[in-house]
Amino acid sequence: MSKLPVLDFLRRMIAGTLPDGAKTSFRYPTAISRTLGIRVVDVGHGTATVAMDADPEIHGNQQGTVHGGILAELADAAIGTAHSTIVHEGDSFTGVDLRINFFRPVWKTVLHAAASPVHGGKTMTHYQVDITNDQGKLVARAQAAIMTLKGEKAHGR
């Protein structure tokens, strides 16, 4: 089987219709997503929603709530997934910055992180990610800039 476009691969993965041995230009699920239990639940051209079961017994900080770094990783996973759907074969990308604001503490819940582009250019794309709990309440919002790498700059990445 030849490589599938990322968007098609992810849509089939979500639907459970991905053929055995199917491949795409990026690694899905990523190693960090497997480790943390992050799953892609929705994807479109330049957009993605990922989810995870957050539990302070596993992901907790010293206050007994889910660590903010977990939310930052969840946002980053959503952004990376969204951006992977818009780069061309042979291109790669890297984060330039990630900023996150926390609005409420998180305990045991299902978190959803929905990423969408705010502005896109030839090289830089800016994203916003809203992270919500299982009650639909906003727990954090992240913004990031992603640089698309082309040609020699993408080589080896």
pLDDT in tens, 53-67: 999 999 999 999 999
Q: Where are the alpha helices (DSSP H) in the chain?
A: 6-15, 31-36, 56-59, 68-84
Q: What percent of the chain has pLDDT over 70?
A: 97
**Least confident range of 17-21, 114-118, 127-131:** 17-21
Record the tokens describing residue 96, joined without a space.
Answer: 């330039």
CB atoms within 10 A of CB 112: 20
pLDDT averaged over the chain? 94
Fold of 6-154: Thiol Ester Dehydrase; Chain A (3.10.129)
Q: Quick one: which of 16, 122, 129 has its CA closest to 77?
A: 129
Per-residue pLDDT, averaged over 64-73, amounts to: 97
